[in-house]
Structure 1
Amino acid sequence: MNEIMLQGDHHNKSECVGYIVTVDGVSVYFAGDTGETEQMSHLEERNLDYAVLPMDFTYTMDVPETIRCAKLIAANHTIPVHMSPGKLFDMDRAKKLAVPGALIVKPGESIRL
């Protein structure tokens, strides 16, 4: 497991951490609650299978920033999470993640990695 310290506009660098988890050859980047970071521009070279990115804007990225970060990271699939203040899932907001490989996982659903 690799740890990457992250910093966005909404959190202090010392309070933010993102993780790349690789299991059985499948790599998943979990951004945590953060915004765009310098490190994200280097993640494309990791050829990630999945990126899990927040998009609520209260303490994390807004939709345009999430789209920009998804394009920077260029994972095969990007899963939006933490989508709306006060609730974790918002289908209308999730559908706005207009990037190649966008993958909406609804509450209670699971995917096989």
Structure 2
Amino acid sequence: MKLTYYGHSTVEIQTNGKTLLFDPFITPNELARHIDVNALKPDYILISHGHGDHIADLLPIQKNSGAKVICIAEIAGWLGNQGVADAHGMNIGGSYTFDFGKVKMVYALHSSSMPDGSYGGVPAGFVIYAEGKKVYFAGDTALTYDMKLLAEEDLSWAILPIGDNYTMGIDDAIKAASFINCKDIVGVHYDTFPVIKIDKEEAEEKFIKAGLNLKLPAIGETIDLL
């Protein structure tokens, strides 16, 4: 299983011969200007919520790739109105098995609306079960006690926001790692805007002190989720 970081909260996971792209926000992100969006051909696009900094490139990438979109039911309905027929709507607590593995939709504490102001359902995270691994993509979320429900999942990796202001910051992400009982963390949702800029060295030191392994891949870098 491999993970490629495309900036902000956009990550790609390659597993069981399929490519999963999460929360595509690339072309408006100056930090990711070297990424060719047209080269991205995911089999699935997973959307945590409807904010523009998570779906800016959703429609063009979906059209270019024919990817199935996995999202909350209300976003699936919105996509239907945009001409996207291949959307798999889910809701919190539900799971479904696809050809690459199983996806469970879990709670995220945030807000959500679509770019046109319409209702985007509730925000969500995902747990991906594939290749004998369990990977948690938290989406945009605050620290919440509901994360403790994941503690018995024996998560392999967790992809957590760490930029603060709009989501958890570094200290709360460390608490979240404790709540979910996962030591291997990929940090996302930082540096894109001035209010979420972090000190990477400080973040890494804090995670190490907490006994955690924090990965902060460069934009465009691929790492193995061992």
TM-score scaled by length of structure 2: 0.43
> Percent identity over the alignment?
30
Q: Which runs of 5+ in 1 are unaligned?
A: none
Contact 2:162 2:170 in 1 (8 A): yes
Taking a change above 3 Å as real, the CA distance of residues 65 and 76 of structure 1, as seen in their structure-2 partners, is closer
> Which of 132, 148, 160 is the aligned partner of 1:53?
160
The alignment partner of 1:103 has SS state of strand
> Is 1:112 equivalent to 2:211 in the alignment?
no
Give the letter aligned to residue 81 of structure 1: V
Aligned counterpart, 2:111: 12
Contact 2:138 2:159 in 1 (8 A): yes
Which is richer in strand?
A: 2
The CA deviation string for residues 13-67 of structure 1, in whole angstroms up to 9 with x for no partner, is 8532010011111110011111112320111100000011111112100111111
The alignment partner of 1:79 has SS state of strand
Taking a change above 3 Å as real, the CA distance of residues 101 and 43 of structure 1, as seen in their structure-2 partners, is same
Aligned counterpart, 2:188: 81
TM-score scaled by length of structure 1: 0.81
User: What's the RMSD between the two structures over aligned residues?
Assistant: 2.3
Q: Which runs of 5+ in 2 are unaligned?
A: 1-102, 113-120
Structure 1 runs of 4+ aligned residues shifted over 3 Å read: 12-15, 87-90
The Cα shift of 1:101 comes to 3.7
